[in-house]
Amino acid sequence: MLKDTPASTGGYVQSVEVDTQRRRALGIYYTPRSAAAMLAKWAIRSYDDTILEPSFGGCTILDAALNQLRSLGSSRPEKQIFGFDVDESAFTYLRRLLGKSQNPQFSLQDFLKAPPGRLAVTTIIANPPFVSYHRMNKAQRDTVRSWRERYAPSFAMTASLWAYFLVHSLSFLKPNGRIAFILPSAAISSDYAQPIMQMLEDRFARLMLYRMNEQLFIQAGAEERTVVLLADRYLNNEHIKAQRSECTVASLDELYQFLDSTDSNAQSTNRGTNNFSSVDRADRVLREATARGTLCRLGDTVNITIGEVIGDTNYFVKQRYEWEALGIPSRQLQPIVTRMRQLTGLRVTKREVSALYGGIPLLLSVQGWKIAKSIQRYLDSYPLKDRSNNKTFGKRNPWYQVSYDSTAVAFIGSLSHESPKVVLNSAGVSCANGLYKLTPKSSQVRHSWIAVASLTTLFRYSAELQARIRGSGALKLEPSDVAKLLVPTNAAGFDGAATRMLLARLDSLVRQGEYESATREADDALLLRTGALTVSQLNIIRDRFQDLRCDRRPLKPLR
């Protein structure tokens, strides 16, 4: 039994919770041993390689590096590994791994504060901190700000902490060196990551990105999918365009087999080549269509804003019959969409709003200062401590008055497991901040076409490209992502009786669950008949869309 084991079960649970919170604050998710071994085998090629781990944490990568060096014939591998970490517990793991001897090549220091030039290695293997900009504490933000002042990077300040670790690590890499990183899926999907990937292409001879369907850190409470980044032959400023490859693998075992069967100097296997060529063909279709002016971004024609920030949805939003049981007068209630699954079709209808059970829920919308007694009793029931701790309530005066704007012409969800769809606001309601509001940028732009366009393969494919993939396989869209979703340019002027008839038919198909049939009809009407895409171009986009959709869906375990 360990000496620091808590004496009671309650104390143990509390200590585990404290440790979990500490790890999350620092972005610590210890690398699985199988993943560390795979990265070490790929990245360490010679008995005299030197290895850096910029945030060594639980030391699984260092342990794997030692084993790999020994297998290659190194007699003193512990002298060939270096590392940084800000967490004192990491050095406890280090002492268990290397013994109590002095290890001056390891520093209790934030890696971003380490000046380049004090160390140069052949290999960098890392699982850097997964901390988004919005979750960074003050010390982390101060470090990032100072780092940006010194190095003036090309990527945005809102980048997550892993991005800074990756870029800074290149300053410690020798020519012809290699890097192997485990990164969040944002490395491929986010806007801020694009300049970083471009920089890597300019500095390495080969760059390989593997999207992982397996959730590597699920046991640590992190559901986000990961990306394994491998790059070799560091060229620094020679600006030779890298051979870049990108594909999806189901698990670590599959990636291990994939790398093991691939010659270290080959670009990819046949599977990878086919995958990459399909990417190239789809990208070429979009470039050509955009150059012809037949495609545009949704954000070119509509504004995208978040829905109402409620603060406590369960308290302020209920079904009609629930409010009636509480004696809340209907004049103080407003229909509000809180989840896209409440909208089964392409339009919000009056019938859905007036339904007693399972329809659009109602928001308690207290207007003015004269409040009905039943409402006052209900508001007084909210715990004072919870009210004081609620940041949203603190920004409102009075705390219970939720904004309500029903002028949006359409809604789109921020999260979807299939494909995002646009739903027209035919009933004149509002939505919560789990959805986004769409409003035309010009009064001359008609809007009924948007819902039809959102069913097209083009729109659905662009959502797969722009969205962040959550651990469950769901697509997460920020407002900036929605603005980039692709629609046919001439669809903005598409309206009239023919469009209304098409919308009615597609609405019916979607409500019946015939989503793919609706997509086929939308493709025919908005993409093929208008000349936005040719049949062959559409087929290329369809094939690539299906590949991406299959890649992100969680695989069922074998029985």
Any domain includes 134: yes
Any domain includes 222: no
Strand 302-306 versus strand 243-249 pairing type:
unpaired
Any domain includes 239: yes
Any domain includes 505: yes
Q: Which ranges of 326-475 would DSSP assign to H, the alpha helix?
A: 350-354, 373-380, 384-389, 391-394, 448-453, 457-466
The tally of CA atoms less than 13 A away on the side-chain side of residue 559 is 1
- Residue pair 216/32 in contact (Cβ under 8 Å)? The answer is yes
> Which single residue is written with the structure tokens 């093929």?
528
Tens digit of each residue's pLDDT (9 = 90 or more) over 480-497: 999 999 999 876 556 567
Q: Residues 414, 441, 402, CA angle at the centre, nearest 5°?
A: 50
Ramachandran category for residue 358: left, alpha or beta (phi over 0 → left; psi -120 to 50 → alpha) = left
Any domain includes 61: yes
Helix, strand, or coil (residue 81)? strand
pLDDT of residue 262: 54
CATH number of the domain enclosing 158: 3.40.50.150
Q: Which residues contact 535 (CB under 8 A, 6 or more apart)?
A: 528
Strand 415-416 versus strand 317-318 pairing type:
unpaired
Any domain includes 122: yes
pLDDT of residue 408: 95
Any domain includes 90: yes
Any domain includes 283: no
Tens digit of each residue's pLDDT (9 = 90 or more) over 134-187: 888 899 999 999 999 999 899 988 899 999 999 999 999 999 999 999 998 888
**Residue 242: which domain range?**
30-211+232-264
- Residue pair 470/224 in contact (Cβ under 8 Å)? The answer is yes
Q: Which residues contact 306 (CB under 8 A, 6 or more apart)?
A: 433, 436, 437, 479
- Rounded to whole angstroms, how far apart are CA atoms 37 and 412? 43
- Rounded to whole angstroms, how far apart are CA atoms 377 and 369? 15
Tens digit of each residue's pLDDT (9 = 90 or more) over 48-92: 999 999 998 888 999 999 999 999 999 999 999 999 998 888 888
pLDDT of residue 357: 65
- Residue pair 336/430 in contact (Cβ under 8 Å)? The answer is yes
| Nearest alpha carbon to residue 476 among 552, 416, 559, 402 | 416
pLDDT of residue 429: 96
- Cα–Cα distances in angstroms (integers) from residue 207 to residues 52, 117, 203, 240, 276, in the given order: 19, 24, 9, 12, 13
**Number of Cβ atoms within 10 Å of the Cβ of 180:** 26
Count of structural domains, the chain: 2
Indicate the pTM of the whole model: 0.64
Residues of the chain below pLDDT 50 = 1-27, 218-222, 263-276, 555-559
